[in-house]
Amino acid sequence: MAENAVSTASSKMVTADALSSGRPTILIAEDSADSREMMQLLLETRGYQVIAAHDGMHAVEAALTSRPDLLLLDLELPKLDGLSVTRNLRLDPKFKDVPIIILSGHDPSRFRQDALDAGCDDYLLKPIDFDSLHVLLDRMIGAAQQPRSFIKSA
């Protein structure tokens, strides 16, 4: 399957700074350059290290290379859609607990369950409310970085 073919590739967009900064790293996969750059700028101003991907294949490559703390994936990406990226990464044990959020302009009542079934942790409707997104990111990244024994259940 083509989805598994990218597992040995490496990403050219991942830098040493992205891996050694100590800041939480978020991978954004968005095919719209304007949207991708806007999200990257907003996340970086909030202190996140950001890795950007322009299609689903590049998202998988970058994720496998850099092991981000969280992924934000557009639902409709070229080459591999966001759900295929999620399914591919969930096959790797290193991505079992990495939060993955789908971003889409499509009606959540039609696509949210598909995203959850694929292994996503959440589904956010575009346009994104960035204040709410930052609260969600802080919560998800914090929970993902805590040892399981220290996470209190709701």
pLDDT digits (tens, 9 = 90+) for 66-100: 999 999 999 999 999 999 999 999 999 999 999 99
For residue 153, tell me if it sits in a domain: no
CB atoms inside a 10 Å sphere around CB 45: 8
Percent of the chain with pLDDT over 70: 80
Number of domains in the chain: 1
- Tell me the two tokens of residue 125: 């409707």
For residue 75, tell me if it sits in a domain: yes
**What average pLDDT score do residues 4-25 get?**
50
Model confidence, pTM:
0.81
Question: What is the extent of the structural domain holding 63?
Answer: 2-146
- What confidence category does residue 21 fall into, taking pLDDT thresholds of 50, 70 and 90? low
- Distance, in Å, from the CA atom of 45 to the CA atom of 55, rounded to the nearest integer, reads 24
For residue 151, tell me if it sits in a domain: no
The residues near 148 (Cβ < 8 Å, ≥ 6 apart) are: none
Q: At what angle do helices 82-90 and 56-66 cross, to 10 degrees?
A: 30
CATH number at residue 142: 3.40.50.2300
For residue 130, tell me if it sits in a domain: yes
For residue 154, tell me if it sits in a domain: no
Peptide bond just before 24 cis, omega within 30 deg: no
**What average pLDDT score do residues 121-128 get?**
94
